Amino acid sequence: MDKIKQNPLVKKVGFNRVVLCGVLILMYIFFSILVPAITGSGFAGMSHIMGALNYAYFLGFLSLGVTFVIATGGIDFSIGPVMFCCGLISGYCLMTYNMPLPLCLLISILIGTLFGLWNGYLVAYWTVPPFIVSMASMNMAKGIASVFTKTQSVSWPRSTDANGWFRNLVKAGGIPTGLLCFLGAAVICAIILNNTKFGRYIICLGSNKEAVRLSGVDTKKWEMCAYLMCGILVGIATIFFVGTYTTVQPGYGDTYNNEAIAGCVMGGTSMAGGLASISGTVIGVLIISLLQEGILALKLTKDIQLIITGIIVIVAVYADVMARRRKN
Amino acid sequence: MGEIILQMKEIDKSFPGVHALDHVNLEVKRGEVHALMGENGAGKSTLMKVLTGIYKKDEGTIIYRGKEVEFRNTREAQDNGVVIVHQELNMVGDLTVAQNIFIGREPRKGFRIDDKKMIEDSKALFDRLHIDIDPTEKMSELTVGKQQMCEIAKAISHNAELIIFDEPSAALTEKEIEDLFTIIRDLRSQDLGIIYISHRMDEIKVITDRVTVMRDGGYVGTLITEECTKEDIINMMVGRVIYEKPKEKSLVPADAPVVLKVEHLNAGKMVQDVSFELRKGEILGFSGLMGAGRTETARAIFGADPKQSGDIYVNGEKVEINSPQDAVNHGIGYLSEDRRRFGIVVGKSITENSTMAALSDYMSGLFINKGKEKQVSEKYIKELDTKTPSTDQLVVNLSGGNQQKVVIAKWLVRNSDILIFDEPTRGIDVGAKNEIYKLMNRLAAEGKSIIMISSEMTEILRMSDRIIVMCEGRKTGEINIEEATQELIMDKATRQMEA
């Protein structure tokens, strides 16, 4: 253990993240052996890596967003459905009302922002438990989207279509631009979390809200801002979702909640608040994405993945709880 | 005094960074009231927690009723007749007295709780203790003193043979203390062993047979109460530590300006029509019993809790304080009695805690200037002599005294001129205590104005320039240090002002 601590890389990024990177690599090797053995087709090729990355972009933005909320000790179960709500309404504006594309993308971000503001206001100022608020928002997001689109699914333009240029954000030529966007966003989020007043306050209030309040900090405002930040990132996630998967159906999106939260807590952000790691979230998201691609490649159904992410959330949170108990 | 019921030999216990108990001995006989004395942080509570199974001892033996024991939890200790009457009352206010006494072990009739038996058993208990409480009354309707009696009744109902009283008198009036002593004498005559933890020297002389003194987690000695003087005990408790000299007279110049004036402050039941003035460079002591409303007054002034009415003037100007933010902006800092809950963010570093109240001054544009932050943190570590390996140390790893210094640093970084110290030395070991005293005296000499709330009489008399006494939410006295005596303060703290 002492040897590991002395390793400069480990010291820099933390033991947890090194282990996660190891898990990521092992998982890749695991699928590379298992997929050909069972299905006869290869896994090591670029197509599966791209598949996993495609999944990582939108999930990554969701996960980054929810990292801010979990850092405050809160939770947001509405991110997936809100993303669908954004995609449906802005897509409907684009395809049915023929609004200009940039405006529609802005509408998407705006809807995410409004949901974030709403959740944050209720949690911070009305002190409604985050669990209840986000559960209610989840259903409201589904309902609003269905009403707006008259329960129709919406298909966004393909890359060859007139309005398809926005897909360059996800992939331009053969270059995974989405990865650049995601990593760029992660760097910005890390700076916000570690080097701004907002980041400092939300992490501290996640650890001990009353002590921060009694230091003369407007804890309500900053707590609301964490949800707001999450909402903005959910709005952006939408663009990468529709840029990858084209069609959005009303009434869905909840499965992404668990995956985004799993990515976040696996990366070392504590469900109890007060501890958050953006780099951890990034690796966590990559693990979840690879897992989903691997399971698809094994020709298993999505249901298997639901079970596994469920287990991951439990194990990650349990590990966090145990670590805390040891400390005390 | 009869046979020995409890023997704790060479008990040793360490926590990370703290040697909490250093080979401590304690011996209690049947039919004896045995005082366990020591300053805050001396290790009395830790020793009792080891006895009742809350902590596991590292070394040593516990012999109870002639057999070596190690209780795994309080339940097991209770089943063996070792019970503790806590300082903080552990009662559920909405349940009746009887329900509280038998909580978790209600008598049953088939599947149903046998309320009738529960009430009868409670009555029998109260008869045994000669106290007059109706078992069907709601707990929240009783006075603190009566609640304490119920706590004792509950303890005895476990067929107790060894009862530990942990500062039972802290919240009681003089009359209630007398009742308590009657009960304790009664229990003694029934051949029970009694451990009595208290700070009040007078009580020790009145009620106890022997005294065991602890200091800094170590065992100092055991005396027979009758054969020793108060001074003997105090010397044993304090030991090598030389405290700041008590003030003979106020050190505040006569013409010092009033920096804080509070007029007719009302905030809930605990703060009723409180008015006072605080002058520049003054240490204003707030004395009173537990639950006298001192903390509530401080929190209302600081905007931590809402107030109903009253005016606050800072430097002669009337100010509106509706939140801690407002208070901080007017230069008021509050150091809570409960540091871990209200004072610091334990999971964060010294630096992050130090700049918590003044982060705006440590920004370069949108970003926190971590270099500048570290500098100021280092400056106050040096100035307050905080013992830590680095500025990045998490506050959770510091001792109580050093944590308190981090909280003080927080307000000094913010440049607050009015500091409210609520129980500044609670949970701080003896050596660090005097450092805090010195620091407070220095701050006052530098022109900071301090309100000091304290339940320790010696602390009040040692530190204050002037003393305000509260009782049941009202200010009942204001005493200059020249005239202040323990008796005068106690007198005002236990009875309402007649006007």
Residues of B in contact with A195 (CB under 8 A): 367-368, 370
- What pLDDT score does A1 carry? 34
Q: Is A195 within 8 Å of B370 when comparing Cβ atoms?
A: yes
User: Is residue A289 domain-resident?
Assistant: no
3-class SS of residue A66? helix
If you average pLDDT over residues A142-149, what whole number do you get? 96
pLDDT value of residue B244: 75
pLDDT of residue B242: 66
CATH topology of domain B258-493: Rossmann fold (3.40.50)
The model carries a pTM of: 0.82
- Chain B residue with the nearest C-alpha to that of A191: B367
How many CA atoms, within 13 angstroms, populate the side-chain half-sphere of residue A39? 15
The angle that helices A15-39 and A278-297 make with each other, rounded to 10 degrees, is 10
For A120-135, the DSSP string reads HHHHHTS---HHHHHH
As a whole number, mean pLDDT of residues B189-196 equals 93
Nearest to B195 by CA among B3, B47, B24: B47
Q: Which domain holds residue A79?
A: 58-255
| Mean pLDDT value across chain B | 89
Residue A168 has pLDDT above 90, yes or no: no
Residues of B in contact with A212 (CB under 8 A): 345, 356
Instruction: Name beta bridge partners: B83.
Output: B163
Return the pLDDT at A11: 59
A214/B359 touch (CB, cutoff 8 Å), yes or no: no
Q: What ranges make up the beta strands (E) of chain A?
A: 154-155, 247-248
Q: What is the ipTM of this complex?
A: 0.88
Distance CA A88, CA B263 (A): 59
Query: Is the CB of A197 less than 8 angstroms away from the CB of B352?
Result: no
pLDDT band at residue A10 under the 50/70/90 scheme: low
Element (H, E) at B440: helix B430-445
Nearest-CA distance B341 → chain A (Å):
6
A211 contacts B357? CB cut-off 8 A:
no
Count, residues in chain B: 499
With cut-offs at 50, 70 and 90, classify the pLDDT of residue B235: confident
| The pair of three-digit structure tokens given for residue B481, joined into one six-digit string | 């240090």
pLDDT confidence of residue A4 = 41
- What mean pLDDT is predicted for residues B183-197? 92
CA neighbours closer than 13 Å in the CB half-sphere of residue B267 = 25
**Res. B238 pLDDT band, cuts 50 70 90:** confident
Instruction: Give how far A209 is from chain B: nearest CA, Å.
Output: 8
Q: Is A203 in contact with B359 (Cβ distance < 8 A)?
A: no
Residue A284: inside a domain, yes or no?
no
**Chain A environment of B325 (Cβ under 8 Å):** 216-218
Spatial CA neighbour of B201 closest among B229, B241, B168:
B229
Q: Are A137 and A82 in contact (CB under 8 A)?
A: yes
Tell me, yes or no, whether A263 lies in a domain: no
- Tell me which DSSP letter residue A172 carries: B
Is residue A265, in this structure, part of any structural domain at all?
no
- Tell me the pLDDT band of B493, cut-offs 50, 70 and 90: confident
Q: Does A303 touch chain B (CB under 8 A)?
A: no
Residue A12 confidence class, pLDDT cut points 50, 70, 90 = low
Q: Under an 8 A CB cutoff, do B327 and A211 touch?
A: no
Q: Three-state SS for A171? A: coil
Nearest chain A alpha carbon to B347 = A207
With bands split at pLDDT 50, 70 and 90, how would you rate the model's confidence at A45?
confident
| Chain B environment of A209 (Cβ under 8 Å) | none
- Number of domains forming the structure of chain A: 1
Please give the residue that has the higher pLDDT: either B399 or B317. Answer: B317
Mean pLDDT, range A227-235, rounded to an integer: 98
Q: Is the pLDDT of residue B295 over 50?
A: yes
Same-fold call for B4-238 versus B258-493: yes
* pLDDT tens sequence across A295-314: 988 888 888 888 988 898 89
In a domain, A311, yes or no: no
CATH fourth-level superfamily of B4-238: P-loop containing nucleotide triphosphate hydrolases (3.40.50.300)
Where are any strands of DSSP class E within B80-228? Answer: 82-85, 108-109, 112-113, 162-166, 193-197, 210-215, 218-224
For the segment B307-327, what is each residue's pLDDT rounded down to a tens digit?
Answer: 999 999 999 999 999 999 999
Tell me how crowded residue A320 is: count the other CB atoms within 10 A of its CB.
18
Q: Assign residue B344 a region: left if phi > 0, alpha if psi is -120 to 50, beta otherwise?
A: beta
Please give the pLDDT value at position B455.
84
**All structural domains of chain B with their residue ranges:** 4-238, 258-493
Q: Is the pLDDT of residue B387 over 90?
A: no
CB contact under 8 A, A217 and B329: no
Which of chain B's residues have a Cβ under 8 Å away from the Cβ of A216?
324-325, 327-329, 357, 414
Residue window 295-334, chain B: list those with CB within 8 Å of chain A.
302, 304, 323-325, 327-329, 334
Assign B268 to helix, strand or coil.
coil
- Residue A26 in any domain: the answer is no
The strand pairing partners of B219, in sequence order, are B214
